[in-house]
C-alpha cells in the first residue's frame, strides 16, 4: 500500500508576516508529501505584509493549498487551533512557516502512526535531534522553560520535547476538545487535555530562520508562564498515568 492509499494529512502552517518564507515552506511540504493524500492549511493573522494575499495568488486553483485569513483574533497557538477546526484529513501536522522545522520529516511523522502512535512529536532532544546556531542565552532560556513545564505538569516528564512546535496528531483525539491555549506552546494544551494512548518522537534538527524576524518576545514568554499556570490550576485532564513514549528512527 502506498502512502497515498494509507494516510491523509492536513498540514497546518500559522503565519504572520511570513511573505519571505511561505512559498518555500509550502513547496517543500508539497514535495515531501507527494506520495500522500494531503492538504495544506495556511492560517494567517491578517499579516501587514499580506502573506495571506501571496498564498491566495500563488496557489490559486491548487486543490491542496488553502488560506484562512483571521481578522478578529491573533496568536500562534490560537491560529493552530483554528487550523485544527479547518482540517479535513485523518491526521493533523503543525509546522512553522520559517523553515526552522524541516518539511522533509513529515513522512517520518506519518509513518509513526502506523506503529500505533496517537501523537507524534518532532524532538530536538533525542538521538539524531539537535539545535543549530542558538546562542548560549537562548539555550538557557529554552532549557529553563522545559524544566518549568516538566516540574509543573508531571504527565510531560516522560517526553523529551513536550514544548515542540513541530508535531502531528490523530484528528479524532482533538474532536470535541475545548483547546484554550495561552502563548505559543499549543502542544502542552494537547498533551494535557486530550485522551491518547501512545506518543512517538521523531528526531529533527532545529535551525535558525533564514529570512524574516523571530516572533518570540517577552510577551510570548509571559504567555507561556500563564499557560503553564492555567494548566496546573485546572488539573491534568484526568490523566493519572504515564503514557508510553517511543523514539522512531531518523
The per-residue DSSP string of 74-97 comes to --HHHHHHHHHHH--SSEEEE--T
Percent share of the chain, pLDDT over 90? 54
What's the pLDDT band for 1 if we cut at 50, 70, 90? very low
The per-residue DSSP string of 188-232 comes to HHHHHHS--S-EEEEE-EE---SSS-----HHHHHHHHHHHHHHH
Locus of grid cell 509546522: 95
In a domain, 2, yes or no: no
- Domain range for 114 is 8-247
Lowest mean pLDDT among 5-9, 119-123, 126-130: 5-9
Identify the pLDDT of residue 132: 81
In a domain, 96, yes or no: yes
In a domain, 155, yes or no: yes
- The residue-averaged pLDDT of 151-155 equals 84
Closest CA to 246 of 186, 188, 174, 197: 197
Lowest mean pLDDT among 39-43, 80-84, 150-154: 150-154
C-alpha distance from residue 9 to each of 72, 91, 154, 167, 183 (Å): 27, 5, 30, 12, 25
Closest CA to 30 of 66, 80, 67, 64: 64
In a domain, 1, yes or no: no
List, for residues 100-112, the tens digit of each pLDDT value.
999 999 999 999 9
| CATH classification at residue 147 | 3.90.550.10
The mean pLDDT of the chain is 86
Lowest mean pLDDT among 195-199, 206-210, 239-243: 239-243
C-alpha distance from residue 89 to each of 34, 65, 150 (Å): 15, 13, 31
Give the helix/strand (H/E) hosting 52.
Answer: helix 51-58
In a domain, 3, yes or no: no
In a domain, 209, yes or no: yes
Our count of domains for the chain comes to 1
Query: Cα–Cα distance between 176 and 136 in angstroms, integer?
Result: 41
What's the pLDDT band for 4 if we cut at 50, 70, 90? very low
Q: Three-state DSSP class for 8? A: strand
Amino acid at each position: 500500500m502506498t502512502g497515498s492509499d494509507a494516510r491523509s494529512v492536513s498540514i497546518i502552517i500559522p503565519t504572520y508576516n511570513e511573505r519571505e518564507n511561505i512559498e518555500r515552506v509550502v513547496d517543500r511540504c508539497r514535495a515531501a508529501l507527494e506520495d500522500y493524500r494531503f492538504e495544506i492549511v495556511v492560517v494567517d493573522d491578517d499579516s501587514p505584509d499580506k502573506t495571506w494575499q501571496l498564498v491566495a495568488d500563488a496557489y490559486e486553483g491548487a486543490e491542496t493549498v488553502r488560506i484562512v485569513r483571521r481578522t478578529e483574533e491573533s496568536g500562534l497557538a490560537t491560529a493552530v487551533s483554528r487550523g485544527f477546526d479547518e482540517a479535513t484529513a485523518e491526521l493533523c501536522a503543525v509546522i512553522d512557516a520559517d523553515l526552522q522545522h524541516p518539511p522533509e520529516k513529515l513522512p517520518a511523522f506519518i509513518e509513526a502512526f502506523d506503529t500505533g502512535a496517537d501523537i507524534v512529536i518532532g524532538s530536538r532532544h533525542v538521538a539524531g535531534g539537535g539545535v543549530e546556531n542558538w546562542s548560549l542565552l537562548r539555550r538557557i532560556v529554552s532549557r529553563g522553560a522545559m524544566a518549568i513545564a516538566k516540574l509543573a505538569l508531571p504527565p510531560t516528564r516522560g517526553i523529551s520535547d513536550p514544548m515542540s512546535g513541530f508535531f502531528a496528531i490523530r484528528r479524532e483525539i482533538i474532536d470535541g476538545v475545548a483547546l484554550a491555549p495561552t502563548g505559543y506552546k499549543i502542544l502542552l494544551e494537547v498533551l494535557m487535555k486530550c485522551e491518547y494512548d501512545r506518543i512517538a518522537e521523531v528526531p529533527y534538527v532545529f535551525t535558525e530562520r533564514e529570512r524574516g524576524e523571530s516572533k518570540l518576545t517577552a510577551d510570548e514568554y509571559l504567555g507561556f508562564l500563564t499557560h503553564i499556570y492555567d494548566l496546573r490550576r485546572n488539573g491534568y485532564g484526568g490523566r493519572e498515568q504515564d503514557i508510553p513514549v517511543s523514539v522512531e528512527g531518523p
